[in-house]
Amino acid sequence: MRLIFVLFLFLVVNCSDPGIPANSIRESKIEHGNFTYGTVVFYDCNPGYFLFGSSVLVCQPNGHWDKPLPECIMIDCGHPGVPPNAVLSGDKYTFGSTVHYTCTVINCGDPGVPANGMRYGDDYVVGQNVTYMCQPGYTMESNSSSIRTCTSNGTWSGSIPTCRGQDAITKDKLYIIVLVFTKIPLKPMMGVFGKSLHA
């Protein structure tokens, strides 16, 4: 009678310590300080960092981890941009960083002075007005505004007015006046023909 002895040899497979990435937190349940087959390791990142890679690693029968060690990368918000007429202070755009904005005063520049005219007001920033007047002997055209305002887009409202001489005759006011005399002495008759020289 033969006795057959079968020897089962069980080898305990351990994985090496997978490590802890910088700025990360690791959680795992290990037995006797070893990362045995089937051990699961969890990773998470500290505030201000995002996880690149797998957050879960499992020890395989061959003694290797199923995935590579993840990384914790600092969160970068990127350049915040600069609005018109503002100055940005601060060159760090990562998590927790602070930038500051300061606004610059909008200046519309010198609005000019019309020929034969005068201007009152020398403050050319947003919301300020300048007032125009014509010199003696000149009048401002009816379609011109005597007040201009510096607007938020850096330009003046309206346009520079025109001062015209009071004795100037415009074509829409020019009429032909014809004196018609009768044959009767000392009794002239004036006739006005309302024909306008419109273009």
Residue 180 lies in a domain: no
CATH number at residue 128: 2.10.70.10
pLDDT 10s digits, 34-87: 899 999 999 999 999 999 999 999 999 999 999 999 999 999 999 999 998 899
Residue 192 has pLDDT above 60, yes or no: no
Residue 175 lies in a domain: no
Residue 3 lies in a domain: no
Residue 101 lies in a domain: no
**The residue to which tokens 């401002």 are assigned:** 140
Per-residue pLDDT band for 168 (boundaries 50, 70, 90) equals: low
Residue 153 has pLDDT above 80, yes or no: yes
**The residue to which tokens 């006005």 are assigned:** 192
Q: Which domain holds residue 53?
A: 14-74
Residue 136 lies in a domain: yes
Residue 2 has pLDDT above 90, yes or no: no
- Mean pLDDT, to the nearest integer, of 136-159? 92
Residue 87 lies in a domain: no
**The residue to which tokens 């602070």 are assigned:** 98
Residue 138 lies in a domain: yes
Structural domain total, the chain: 2
Residue 171 has pLDDT above 70, yes or no: no
E-strand ranges in the chain read 14-15, 24-28, 35-36, 40-45, 49-52, 56-58, 71-74, 86-89, 100-103, 117-120, 129-134, 138-140, 147-149, 163-165, 175-181, 188-196
- Residue 178 and residue 195: Cα distance in Å, rounded? 11
